[in-house]
Structure 1
Amino acid sequence: YSFKDALVLRLRLRDGGKKLLVSRPGQFIFLSPENIIDKKDLVSRDSFINHLRRIIRDCRITDITQQPCERIIDLMILCGDEKYILTLELIPRGVFVLRDSSNIIKALNKSLKTRDRVLKINSQYKYPPKTTNLYCEDDTSKILSSFRKGYDIVRGLVVGLGVPSDIAEEFIYRNNIDKSTDPKKLGDEEAMKIIDRLKRFLSELIQKPKPCIILGENNNVLEYYSYQPLSKGDVCVVESDFNDVLREYYLPRIKFFAETDLELSEFTRLKDQFIKDLEKISLDHQNLIKIKNFIDQNYYALENIFICYRESMRSRNREIACPSRDDLGCVYSVDKNILRISCGELLFEFDLMRDFRENYVEISKKISQLERGIEKIKENLNNLEKKILERRAELEKQRLVSEIRMRRRVEWFERFHWIITSEGFLAIGGRDIDQNETLVRKYLERDDLFFHADIHGGSVFILKKGTGAGEKSIIETAHLAGCYSKAWSAGYGSIDVFYVSGDQVSKTPPSGEYLPKGSFMIYGEKKWVRGVKMILGIGIEMVDSKYPRVIVGDPDYVRSRSSIYAIITPGNDSSREVAEKIVKKWLEKHREQEIFIRSLELDEVIRKIPGKSKIIFI
Structure 2
Amino acid sequence: MKKALSSIDINVLIESWQFLCDSKLEQISRHSKQEVILKIRSKEHGTHRLLINLDGWIYLTNSKGFQSKSGNFIDILKKTIKGGRVNSISQINCDRLISIIISNNNQEFNLIIELFRKGNLILCKDKEIISILRKEKLNDRLLDKGAIYTYPQHPFNFLDSDTASSTEKLKSSHRKLISALVTDCNLGPDIAEYISSSYNPNIAISDLSDEDISSIISHAKSILSNPSKARIYSNNKYTFFATPFELKDLEVNSEFSNYNEAIEHLLSLKKEVKTEEPREDGRIFTQKKYLKKFLKQSKEMRKIAKSISDNVLFIQNLIDDFNNEKENKEILDYNNTRSEFRTSIDDLSFKIIPTKSPEANASLYFKNAKSLEAKAAKAEKLILTQSKTKKKISKVKSSISKNQEWFEKFRWFITSEGEIAVAGKDARSNDLIVKKYLKKNDYFSHADIHGAPSVVVKHITSEMSEKSLEECGSFSLSFSKAWASKVSGGHAYSVIADKVSKTPNTGEFLARGSFALRGRRKWFKNLPVLLAIGKISYLDSEKIMIGPVSSLATHSKNYSVIRPGFGSSAAFSQLLSKHLNCTQEEIQSLLPFGTLDVVESVGFSIDNSLLNSDE
Higher helix proportion, which one? Answer: 1
TM over 0.5: no
TM-score interval w.r.t. the shorter chain?
A: 0.3 to 0.5
Structure with larger Rg = 1
Normalising by structure 2, what TM-score?
0.42
Normalising by structure 1, what TM-score?
0.42
